[in-house]
Amino acid sequence: MVRRPTALWRPLLLGLVLLGLSSCATLGGARGKQPDMLSGLVLDPEGRAVSFAKISVVVEASTDRSGKASEGKLDPALEGARGLAVTTEGGRWVVDHLSDGDGADLGLPRKNYYEVTVYKPGFHLWKDSVLYEKGTLQVETTLYPDTIVIEDIGNMVDTSLGETNTGTGTGPRQGE
């Protein structure tokens, strides 16, 4: 008969459970707090997901106490800060922080206007300004294809025999 060392496993198991619960509380799972993020869905005009589109998020303006954009009063630490994402195969994306020019995480500052740009080769560029206050802000986008419509209007080349130039002119030739 083999005895299991249950006395050693119980504290370890309890510690792992507590660690898991504390990480849920940190992420807001236990209290129901929404994390700060901009997220979105990118579709084409037929409602199909646009995968692998590039998303760029930059701070456009801060807000004053009334919630209006206060021009020229952008926090200097946010100048040049950018959040980047790429859509999944399902067309979804998430930006949960901005990075400065050195790559430092600046979080997602609240109460700012953000310029969201969506780019994918073969589609028109999409750009809009959104006000982010807190929690999760969903941005839905429809990208329209870059297309050139070519209309066949028949024969565009005049093939009639009229006066023609055969290239047998009488001008000087090279070497003469």
Q: What is the mean pLDDT of residues 54-72?
A: 77
What ranges do the domains of the chain cover? 34-142
Confidence label for 92 from pLDDT (cuts 50, 70 and 90): very high
Task: Indicate the range of 29-38, 103-112, 135-144, 156-165 predicted with least confidence.
Answer: 156-165
Q: What is the pLDDT of residues 104-120, one digit of tens each?
A: 999 998 888 999 999 99
With contact defined as beta carbons under 8 Å apart, do 123 and 100 qualify?
Answer: no
What integer pLDDT is reported at residue 22 of this predicted model?
A: 43
Q: What is the mean pLDDT of residues 158-167?
A: 61
Above 80 in pLDDT, residue 174? no
Tell which residue, 121, 118, 163, has the closest CA to residue 142.
118
Residue 12, pLDDT > 80, answer no
Q: What is the pLDDT of residue 63?
A: 73
Task: Give residue 102's pLDDT band: very low, low, confident or very high (50, 70, 90).
Answer: confident
What pLDDT sits at residue 24?
42
Please tell me the CATH superfamily of domain 34-142, with its number: Immunoglobulins (2.60.40.10)
The string of pLDDT tens digits covering residues 128-144 is: 999 999 999 999 999 99
Inter-residue contact 123 to 106 (CB < 8 Å): no
Residue 114 or residue 150, greater confidence: 114
Integer Cα distance of 120 and 42 in angstroms: 10
**Band of residue 32 on the pLDDT scale cut at 50, 70, 90:** low
Kindly state the greatest CA–CA separation across the chain.
115
pLDDT band at 44 (very low <50, low <70, confident <90, very high): very high
Mean pLDDT of 59-83: 75
Q: If you compute the radius of gyration of the chain from its CA atoms, what whole number of angstroms results? A: 30
Q: Is the pTM of this model over 0.75?
A: no
